[in-house]
Amino acid sequence: MRPLQKILCPVDTSVFSARALSYAKALAGWYGASIAVLYVRPVIVPPALWFGAPAVLPPEPEDGLTERHLESFVRDAIGAAPVTLAIRDGAVVHEILQTAAELPADLIVMGTHGHSGFERLLLGSVTEKTLRKAQVPVLTVPERGAERRPDPPGFETILCGMDRSATARRALDAALSLADASGARVVILHIVPAAPAAARDAR
Query: Is 171 within the bounds of a domain?
Result: yes
Q: Where are the beta strands (DSSP E) in the chain?
A: 6-11, 34-42, 83-90, 107-111, 138-141, 157-161, 185-189
Amino acid 121: pLDDT: 45
Q: Among 155, 161, 151, which residue's Cα sits nearest to residue 185?
A: 155
Residue 104 shares a structural domain with residue 47: yes
Amino acid 59: pLDDT: 47
The domain that holds 111 is classified in CATH as 3.40.50.620
Please list the helix, strand and coil fractions of the chain in percent, rounded to the nearest 5, in that order. 40, 20, 35
Amino acid 1: pLDDT: 62
Query: Is 1 within the bounds of a domain?
Result: no
Q: Structural domain tally of the chain? A: 2
Which of 130, 149, 168 corresponds to the end of one domain?
149
Q: What is the pTM of this model?
A: 0.81
Query: Is 70 within the bounds of a domain?
Result: yes
Residue 42 shares a structural domain with residue 103: yes
pLDDT mean for each 10 residues of the chain (203 residues): 88 90 94 96 64 50 75 94 94 95 96 60 72 93 62 85 93 94 95 73 60
Query: Is 130 within the bounds of a domain?
Result: yes
Query: Amino acid identity of 66?
Result: T
Residue 18 shares a structural domain with residue 46: yes
Amino acid 199: pLDDT: 57
Q: Identify the domain containing residue 86 by its residue range.
A: 6-149
Residue 171 shares a structural domain with residue 121: no
Residue 97 shares a structural domain with residue 187: no
Amino acid 62: pLDDT: 46
